[in-house]
């Protein structure tokens, strides 16, 4: 926030955040508070971070309740990385402000500011401790859900890329048919006793019932 480019920046700290800090204060104003060593800057920063953590936990609970784990795994893990990066920046900023107060203020002012910074550090420690269960959940999800799902996705993509004419496939809609034409990302399959032809895309193929060795022998 000490960067000169934020001096006249009227945008909120995070344009997608609904916390009171982002709704009522601009980046330029927050930069001014940090530069003049105003304690309000610390409080607004804590308010923004706590709102972010609460929102993240709500999204996790919603994902666990409703089941869209794929959506959560695509964005939730990166959100956790962003949380720790923001927390690291916050701790470094608190240390920087504390050092500046030690050099430019009198003893009584030191006591007041250091008390505020200690409060800030206590809040930081409490917040980090509250994140430990979340970290454990992510680790469990990664090794039990995310990693196996990624492996299955890779195997499915490889299967779709290696489809050959004559393969018996099953679509995501449950249709069983035989591939008769392959053209780019589209297939034509024959299905049913009347050998009806259906045109589908590769991503609609859920499984290939023809072993790769058998398909190679046919060709």
State the average pLDDT over residues 6-18.
83
Query: What does the domain layout of the chain look like in residue ranges?
Result: 4-160, 168-218
- pLDDT value at position 218? 43
- pLDDT value at position 219? 42
Instruction: Kindly report, residue by residue over 192-217, the tens digit of the pLDDT.
Output: 888 888 888 887 888 888 876 544 44
Q: Which is more confidently placed, 135 or 105?
A: 135
DSSP code of residue 19: S
d(C-alpha 124, C-alpha 138), whole Å: 21
DSSP H helical segments within 67-179, as ranges?
A: 69-104, 107-141, 147-161
Instruction: Kindly report, residue by residue over 61-80, the tens digit of the pLDDT.
Output: 776 666 555 555 555 555 55
């Amino acid at each position: 926030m000490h960067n000169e480019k934020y001096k006249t920046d009227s945008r909120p700290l995070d344009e997608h955040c609904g916390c009171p800090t982002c709704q009522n204060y601009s980046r330029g104003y927050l930069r001014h508070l940090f530069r003049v060593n105003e304690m309000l800057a610390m409080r607004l920063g804590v308010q923004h971070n706590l709102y972010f953590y609460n929102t993240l936990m709500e999204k996790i609970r919603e994902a666990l309740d409703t089941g869209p784990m794929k959506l959560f795994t695509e964005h939730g893990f990166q959100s956790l990385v962003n949380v720790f990066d923001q927390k690291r920046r916050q701790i470094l900023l608190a240390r920087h402000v504390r050092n500046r107060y030690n050099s430019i203020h009198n003893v009584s002012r030191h006591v007041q500011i250091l008390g505020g910074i200690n409060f800030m550090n206590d809040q930081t420690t409490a917040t980090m401790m509250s994140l430990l269960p979340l970290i454990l959940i992510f680790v469990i999800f990664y090794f039990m859900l995310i990693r196996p799902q990624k492996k299955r996705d890779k195997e499915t993509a490889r299967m779709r890329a290696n489809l050959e004419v004559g393969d018996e496939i099953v679509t995501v809609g449950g249709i069983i048919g035989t591939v008769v034409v392959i053209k780019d990302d589209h297939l034509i399959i024959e299905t049913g006793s009347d050998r009806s032809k259906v045109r589908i895309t590769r991503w609609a193929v859920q499984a290939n019932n023809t072993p790769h060795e058998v398909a190679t022998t046919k060709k």
